Amino acid sequence: MAELSYWQAILRAHDEEMARDPLVFAMGEDIGVAGGTYKATTGLYAKYGEKRVMDTPISENSYTGIGVGAAMLGCRPIVEIMSVNFAWLAMDQLMNNAAKIHYMSGGRIRCPLVLRLPGGTAHQLGAQHSARMEKVFMGVPGLRVVTPSSPRDAYGLLKSAVRCDDPVVIIEHEAMYNLKGEVPDDEHFTPLEGSEVVRPGKDLTLFAYNISVHWALAAAERLAKEQGVEAEVVDLRALKPLDRTGIAASVRKTHRAIVVEEDEAAVGVGAEVIAILNEECFFELDAAPVRVHARDVPTPYNRRLEKASIPNADDVVAAARKLLGR
Protein backbone atom coordinates (compact mmCIF):
# COMPACT_ATOMS: atom_id res chain seq x y z
CA MET A 1 0.00 0.00 0.00
CA ALA A 2 1.50 3.26 -1.11
CA GLU A 3 1.06 6.62 0.53
CA LEU A 4 -0.15 9.14 -2.01
CA SER A 5 -1.38 12.66 -1.77
CA TYR A 6 -4.93 13.44 -2.83
CA TRP A 7 -3.72 14.98 -6.11
CA GLN A 8 -1.45 12.03 -6.85
CA ALA A 9 -4.35 9.68 -6.25
CA ILE A 10 -6.50 11.59 -8.75
CA LEU A 11 -3.65 11.60 -11.23
CA ARG A 12 -3.21 7.86 -10.88
CA ALA A 13 -6.90 7.25 -11.55
CA HIS A 14 -6.75 9.41 -14.69
CA ASP A 15 -3.67 7.63 -15.91
CA GLU A 16 -4.99 4.12 -15.38
CA GLU A 17 -8.34 4.84 -16.98
CA MET A 18 -6.81 6.64 -19.95
CA ALA A 19 -4.34 3.83 -20.51
CA ARG A 20 -7.15 1.29 -20.41
CA ASP A 21 -9.72 2.98 -22.64
CA PRO A 22 -8.84 5.20 -25.62
CA LEU A 23 -12.23 6.90 -25.37
CA VAL A 24 -11.41 8.34 -21.94
CA PHE A 25 -10.17 11.89 -22.28
CA ALA A 26 -9.67 14.84 -19.96
CA MET A 27 -10.50 18.46 -20.57
CA GLY A 28 -10.43 21.68 -18.62
CA GLU A 29 -8.63 24.93 -18.08
CA ASP A 30 -4.85 24.58 -17.71
CA ILE A 31 -4.99 20.81 -17.25
CA GLY A 32 -2.64 20.00 -20.12
CA VAL A 33 0.58 21.90 -20.65
CA ALA A 34 0.33 23.44 -17.18
CA GLY A 35 -0.58 20.11 -15.55
CA GLY A 36 -3.64 21.36 -13.71
CA THR A 37 -4.08 23.99 -11.03
CA TYR A 38 -3.85 21.30 -8.35
CA LYS A 39 -1.44 19.10 -10.31
CA ALA A 40 -4.07 16.37 -10.73
CA THR A 41 -3.26 15.90 -14.44
CA THR A 42 0.50 16.45 -14.31
CA GLY A 43 2.37 14.63 -17.06
CA LEU A 44 -0.72 13.35 -18.84
CA TYR A 45 -0.41 15.83 -21.70
CA ALA A 46 3.05 14.53 -22.57
CA LYS A 47 1.86 10.95 -22.30
CA TYR A 48 -1.50 11.09 -24.08
CA GLY A 49 -1.28 14.16 -26.30
CA GLU A 50 -3.45 17.21 -26.85
CA LYS A 51 -6.45 15.33 -28.22
CA ARG A 52 -6.89 13.44 -24.95
CA VAL A 53 -5.67 16.01 -22.47
CA MET A 54 -7.30 19.15 -23.70
CA ASP A 55 -6.54 22.63 -22.50
CA THR A 56 -9.82 24.43 -23.00
CA PRO A 57 -10.58 28.09 -23.46
CA ILE A 58 -12.26 29.72 -20.46
CA SER A 59 -15.73 28.72 -21.64
CA GLU A 60 -17.13 26.55 -18.88
CA ASN A 61 -20.64 26.09 -20.20
CA SER A 62 -19.63 25.04 -23.69
CA TYR A 63 -16.68 22.83 -22.87
CA THR A 64 -18.86 21.06 -20.35
CA GLY A 65 -21.43 20.71 -23.13
CA ILE A 66 -18.80 19.33 -25.48
CA GLY A 67 -18.06 16.75 -22.79
CA VAL A 68 -21.77 15.94 -22.62
CA GLY A 69 -22.00 15.53 -26.39
CA ALA A 70 -18.91 13.34 -26.54
CA ALA A 71 -20.28 11.22 -23.68
CA MET A 72 -23.57 10.76 -25.56
CA LEU A 73 -21.59 9.10 -28.35
CA GLY A 74 -19.74 6.75 -26.01
CA CYS A 75 -16.67 8.71 -24.96
CA ARG A 76 -15.77 8.95 -21.27
CA PRO A 77 -14.81 12.57 -20.73
CA ILE A 78 -13.35 13.72 -17.43
CA VAL A 79 -14.08 17.42 -17.33
CA GLU A 80 -12.34 19.54 -14.72
CA ILE A 81 -13.78 22.89 -13.84
CA MET A 82 -10.95 24.80 -12.22
CA SER A 83 -13.01 26.01 -9.27
CA VAL A 84 -16.47 24.84 -8.32
CA ASN A 85 -17.64 28.45 -8.42
CA PHE A 86 -17.18 28.47 -12.17
CA ALA A 87 -19.59 25.57 -12.44
CA TRP A 88 -22.41 28.08 -12.14
CA LEU A 89 -21.52 29.02 -15.72
CA ALA A 90 -21.90 25.41 -16.79
CA MET A 91 -25.28 24.90 -15.15
CA ASP A 92 -27.30 24.78 -18.35
CA GLN A 93 -25.24 21.99 -19.90
CA LEU A 94 -25.02 20.11 -16.65
CA MET A 95 -28.56 20.47 -15.37
CA ASN A 96 -30.57 20.65 -18.56
CA ASN A 97 -28.54 18.28 -20.68
CA ALA A 98 -26.26 15.92 -18.76
CA ALA A 99 -28.73 15.21 -15.97
CA LYS A 100 -31.82 14.85 -18.14
CA ILE A 101 -30.85 13.32 -21.46
CA HIS A 102 -31.12 9.70 -20.34
CA TYR A 103 -34.56 10.30 -18.91
CA MET A 104 -35.86 12.57 -21.66
CA SER A 105 -34.82 10.03 -24.27
CA GLY A 106 -36.72 7.26 -22.53
CA GLY A 107 -33.43 5.63 -21.53
CA ARG A 108 -32.12 5.56 -25.08
CA ILE A 109 -29.12 7.87 -24.68
CA ARG A 110 -26.54 7.70 -21.90
CA CYS A 111 -24.32 10.46 -20.66
CA PRO A 112 -21.28 8.99 -18.88
CA LEU A 113 -19.72 12.36 -18.09
CA VAL A 114 -17.40 12.89 -15.15
CA LEU A 115 -17.20 16.41 -13.80
CA ARG A 116 -14.42 17.15 -11.32
CA LEU A 117 -14.89 20.20 -9.17
CA PRO A 118 -12.28 21.55 -6.77
CA GLY A 119 -14.28 23.40 -4.16
CA GLY A 120 -14.58 24.54 -0.58
CA THR A 121 -12.98 27.26 1.45
CA ALA A 122 -9.23 27.16 0.97
CA HIS A 123 -6.93 30.05 1.92
CA GLN A 124 -8.41 33.52 1.65
CA LEU A 125 -9.62 33.05 -1.90
CA GLY A 126 -12.62 35.27 -1.31
CA ALA A 127 -16.32 34.90 -1.94
CA GLN A 128 -16.12 33.90 -5.61
CA HIS A 129 -13.51 31.18 -5.14
CA SER A 130 -14.67 29.55 -1.92
CA ALA A 131 -18.05 28.03 -2.63
CA ARG A 132 -19.63 24.75 -1.73
CA MET A 133 -22.19 23.75 -4.30
CA GLU A 134 -23.13 20.22 -3.34
CA LYS A 135 -26.59 21.38 -2.30
CA VAL A 136 -27.19 22.50 -5.88
CA PHE A 137 -26.10 19.28 -7.56
CA MET A 138 -27.69 16.90 -5.08
CA GLY A 139 -31.10 18.38 -5.78
CA VAL A 140 -31.11 17.32 -9.41
CA PRO A 141 -32.51 13.96 -10.54
CA GLY A 142 -30.18 12.17 -12.92
CA LEU A 143 -26.88 13.34 -11.46
CA ARG A 144 -24.68 11.36 -9.11
CA VAL A 145 -22.70 13.40 -6.61
CA VAL A 146 -19.74 12.02 -4.69
CA THR A 147 -17.14 13.71 -2.60
CA PRO A 148 -13.89 12.09 -1.49
CA SER A 149 -12.43 12.72 1.95
CA SER A 150 -9.21 10.75 1.43
CA PRO A 151 -6.64 9.96 -1.27
CA ARG A 152 -8.02 6.41 -1.38
CA ASP A 153 -11.48 7.66 -2.24
CA ALA A 154 -10.22 10.43 -4.53
CA TYR A 155 -8.66 7.62 -6.53
CA GLY A 156 -11.42 5.05 -6.13
CA LEU A 157 -14.33 7.38 -6.78
CA LEU A 158 -12.80 8.74 -9.98
CA LYS A 159 -12.16 5.19 -11.17
CA SER A 160 -15.77 4.22 -10.49
CA ALA A 161 -17.10 7.45 -11.99
CA VAL A 162 -15.28 6.91 -15.29
CA ARG A 163 -16.80 3.44 -15.56
CA CYS A 164 -20.29 4.55 -14.58
CA ASP A 165 -22.91 5.10 -17.30
CA ASP A 166 -24.50 8.07 -15.50
CA PRO A 167 -23.13 11.60 -15.18
CA VAL A 168 -21.07 11.86 -11.98
CA VAL A 169 -20.11 15.08 -10.23
CA ILE A 170 -17.03 14.71 -8.02
CA ILE A 171 -16.59 17.47 -5.48
CA GLU A 172 -13.00 17.66 -4.36
CA HIS A 173 -11.49 20.12 -1.88
CA GLU A 174 -8.92 22.76 -2.63
CA ALA A 175 -7.42 22.47 0.85
CA MET A 176 -6.98 18.70 0.60
CA TYR A 177 -4.88 18.16 -2.52
CA ASN A 178 -1.72 17.74 -0.45
CA LEU A 179 -3.38 15.50 2.12
CA LYS A 180 -1.57 12.18 2.24
CA GLY A 181 -3.07 8.77 2.78
CA GLU A 182 -2.83 5.10 1.95
CA VAL A 183 -4.05 4.02 -1.47
CA PRO A 184 -4.17 0.32 -2.37
CA ASP A 185 -1.51 -0.73 -4.86
CA ASP A 186 -4.02 -2.80 -6.80
CA GLU A 187 -6.91 -1.21 -8.65
CA HIS A 188 -9.55 -0.03 -6.23
CA PHE A 189 -13.07 1.14 -6.89
CA THR A 190 -14.90 3.13 -4.25
CA PRO A 191 -18.65 2.59 -4.70
CA LEU A 192 -20.62 5.58 -5.99
CA GLU A 193 -23.41 4.73 -3.58
CA GLY A 194 -23.28 4.13 0.14
CA SER A 195 -21.61 5.69 3.16
CA GLU A 196 -18.77 4.39 5.29
CA VAL A 197 -18.30 4.20 9.04
CA VAL A 198 -14.80 5.61 9.36
CA ARG A 199 -14.76 5.48 13.16
CA PRO A 200 -17.19 3.26 15.03
CA GLY A 201 -18.88 4.50 18.19
CA LYS A 202 -22.02 4.06 20.26
CA ASP A 203 -22.89 7.38 21.90
CA LEU A 204 -23.63 9.61 18.95
CA THR A 205 -23.11 9.78 15.18
CA LEU A 206 -21.17 12.51 13.44
CA PHE A 207 -22.23 12.57 9.80
CA ALA A 208 -19.67 14.28 7.62
CA TYR A 209 -18.32 14.35 4.08
CA ASN A 210 -15.24 15.60 2.29
CA ILE A 211 -13.18 17.94 4.51
CA SER A 212 -15.65 17.84 7.37
CA VAL A 213 -14.83 14.15 7.88
CA HIS A 214 -11.49 15.34 9.21
CA TRP A 215 -13.12 17.79 11.61
CA ALA A 216 -15.46 15.05 12.78
CA LEU A 217 -12.58 12.60 13.30
CA ALA A 218 -10.60 15.18 15.27
CA ALA A 219 -13.68 15.94 17.36
CA ALA A 220 -14.35 12.24 17.97
CA GLU A 221 -10.79 11.81 19.18
CA ARG A 222 -11.14 14.65 21.65
CA LEU A 223 -14.56 13.50 22.80
CA ALA A 224 -13.08 10.09 23.55
CA LYS A 225 -10.13 11.50 25.44
CA GLU A 226 -11.79 14.34 27.25
CA GLN A 227 -15.31 13.05 27.80
CA GLY A 228 -15.11 9.33 27.43
CA VAL A 229 -17.67 9.63 24.65
CA GLU A 230 -17.58 7.17 21.79
CA ALA A 231 -18.65 9.07 18.72
CA GLU A 232 -19.25 7.23 15.46
CA VAL A 233 -18.07 9.05 12.35
CA VAL A 234 -19.90 8.31 9.12
CA ASP A 235 -18.41 9.54 5.87
CA LEU A 236 -21.49 10.14 3.75
CA ARG A 237 -19.29 10.21 0.63
CA ALA A 238 -22.17 9.84 -1.85
CA LEU A 239 -24.44 12.87 -1.58
CA LYS A 240 -26.69 11.84 -4.45
CA PRO A 241 -28.15 9.40 -3.88
CA LEU A 242 -27.71 9.65 -0.11
CA ASP A 243 -27.36 6.38 1.78
CA ARG A 244 -30.69 6.25 3.60
CA THR A 245 -30.04 2.79 4.96
CA GLY A 246 -26.58 3.55 6.30
CA ILE A 247 -27.67 6.84 7.82
CA ALA A 248 -30.55 5.21 9.69
CA ALA A 249 -28.47 2.18 10.72
CA SER A 250 -25.93 4.32 12.52
CA VAL A 251 -28.54 6.31 14.42
CA ARG A 252 -30.40 3.15 15.41
CA LYS A 253 -27.17 2.31 17.22
CA THR A 254 -26.24 5.72 18.66
CA HIS A 255 -29.63 7.47 18.93
CA ARG A 256 -28.04 10.88 18.50
CA ALA A 257 -26.89 12.68 15.37
CA ILE A 258 -24.88 15.69 14.35
CA VAL A 259 -24.33 16.58 10.73
CA VAL A 260 -21.06 18.39 10.09
CA GLU A 261 -20.90 20.35 6.88
CA GLU A 262 -18.65 23.03 5.49
CA ASP A 263 -21.61 24.39 3.54
CA GLU A 264 -24.22 26.84 4.76
CA ALA A 265 -27.12 25.05 6.39
CA ALA A 266 -30.02 26.14 4.23
CA VAL A 267 -31.32 23.51 1.80
CA GLY A 268 -28.18 21.50 2.40
CA VAL A 269 -26.77 18.11 3.24
CA GLY A 270 -27.62 18.43 6.94
CA ALA A 271 -31.21 19.34 6.19
CA GLU A 272 -31.48 16.31 3.97
CA VAL A 273 -29.85 13.89 6.41
CA ILE A 274 -32.11 15.07 9.23
CA ALA A 275 -35.15 14.67 7.02
CA ILE A 276 -34.02 11.12 6.32
CA LEU A 277 -33.69 10.49 10.07
CA ASN A 278 -37.21 11.79 10.57
CA GLU A 279 -38.52 9.53 7.86
CA GLU A 280 -36.52 6.40 8.66
CA CYS A 281 -35.96 6.30 12.42
CA PHE A 282 -37.57 9.22 14.23
CA PHE A 283 -38.45 7.19 17.31
CA GLU A 284 -34.88 5.97 17.66
CA LEU A 285 -33.73 9.51 18.37
CA ASP A 286 -32.96 10.44 21.98
CA ALA A 287 -32.40 14.08 21.10
CA ALA A 288 -33.19 16.41 18.25
CA PRO A 289 -30.44 16.11 15.61
CA VAL A 290 -28.37 19.20 14.97
CA ARG A 291 -26.20 20.68 12.27
CA VAL A 292 -22.74 22.17 12.52
CA HIS A 293 -22.36 24.28 9.45
CA ALA A 294 -20.98 27.42 7.80
CA ARG A 295 -22.36 30.79 8.71
CA ASP A 296 -24.82 32.25 6.24
CA VAL A 297 -22.43 34.75 4.62
CA PRO A 298 -20.51 34.99 1.36
CA THR A 299 -17.05 33.74 2.31
CA PRO A 300 -15.05 36.76 3.47
CA TYR A 301 -11.46 37.47 2.47
CA ASN A 302 -10.07 38.44 5.91
CA ARG A 303 -8.39 35.41 7.49
CA ARG A 304 -10.11 35.74 10.86
CA LEU A 305 -13.49 36.27 9.31
CA GLU A 306 -12.94 33.43 6.87
CA LYS A 307 -12.08 31.05 9.71
CA ALA A 308 -15.08 32.22 11.68
CA SER A 309 -17.36 31.61 8.70
CA ILE A 310 -16.77 27.85 8.56
CA PRO A 311 -16.99 25.28 11.33
CA ASN A 312 -14.10 23.34 12.85
CA ALA A 313 -13.50 20.48 15.26
CA ASP A 314 -14.10 22.72 18.29
CA ASP A 315 -17.58 23.51 17.03
CA VAL A 316 -18.27 19.80 16.61
CA VAL A 317 -17.07 19.04 20.15
CA ALA A 318 -19.20 21.85 21.56
CA ALA A 319 -22.27 20.65 19.68
CA ALA A 320 -21.68 17.08 20.86
CA ARG A 321 -21.34 18.13 24.49
CA LYS A 322 -24.51 20.14 24.28
CA LEU A 323 -26.36 17.29 22.63
CA LEU A 324 -25.18 14.88 25.35
CA GLY A 325 -25.83 17.38 28.15
CA ARG A 326 -22.20 17.45 29.31
Quick check: 54 binds another protein (CB under 8 A)?
yes
**Of 5, 83, 93, 130, the one binding another protein by CB under 8 A:** 93
Nearest to 220 by CA among 201, 245, 243: 201
| Residue 160 found at the interface with another protein (CB under 8 A) | yes
* Site size with another protein, rule: CB under 8 A: 50
Q: What is the DSSP letter of 270?
A: H
CB of residue 103 to another protein, shortest distance in Å: 5
* Near another protein by CB under 8 A: residue from 41, 97, 150, 205: 97
How near is the Cβ of 126 to another protein at its closest, in Å? 24
The answer to the question of residue 170 lying near another protein (CB under 8 A) is no
Residues numbered 220-259 forming contacts with another protein, rule: CB under 8 A: none
- Contact status: 14 vs another protein (CB under 8 A): no
Contact status, residue 266 vs residue 297, Cβ threshold 8 Å: no
Among 80, 310, 133, 324, smallest CA distance to 214 is for 310
Candidates 90-98, 121-129, 209-217, 274-282: pick the segment binding another protein (CB under 8 A).
90-98
Q: Which is nearer to another protein, 110 or 244 (CB)?
A: 110
* Residues in contact with 156: Cβ distance below 8 Å, sequence separation at least 6, in sequence order: 13, 148, 188, 189, 190
φ, ψ dihedrals at 144, nearest 5°: -110, 140
Residues tagged active-site: 60, 129
Q: What are phi and psi of 292, to 5 degrees?
A: -115, 120
- In angstroms, give the least distance from the CB of 154 to another protein: 18
| Candidate list 34, 47, 92, 301; residue touching another protein; CB under 8 A | 92
Which stretches of 111-266 are assigned E, i.e. beta strand? 114-119, 144-146, 168-173, 180-183, 196-199, 204-208, 231-235, 238-240, 257-264
Give yes or no for residue 102 binding another protein (CB under 8 A).
yes
Contact 18, 41 (CB under 8 A): no
> Do the Cβ atoms of 177 and 6 come closer than 8 Å?
yes
Report how far Cα 116 is from the mean position of its chain's Cα atoms: 9
**Site map (CB under 8 A) of another protein, residues 173-212, x = contact:** ------------------xxx-------------------
Instruction: Select the span of 47-55, 126-134, 198-206, 300-308 touching another protein (CB under 8 A).
Output: 47-55
Span 259-288, contacts to another protein by CB under 8 A: none
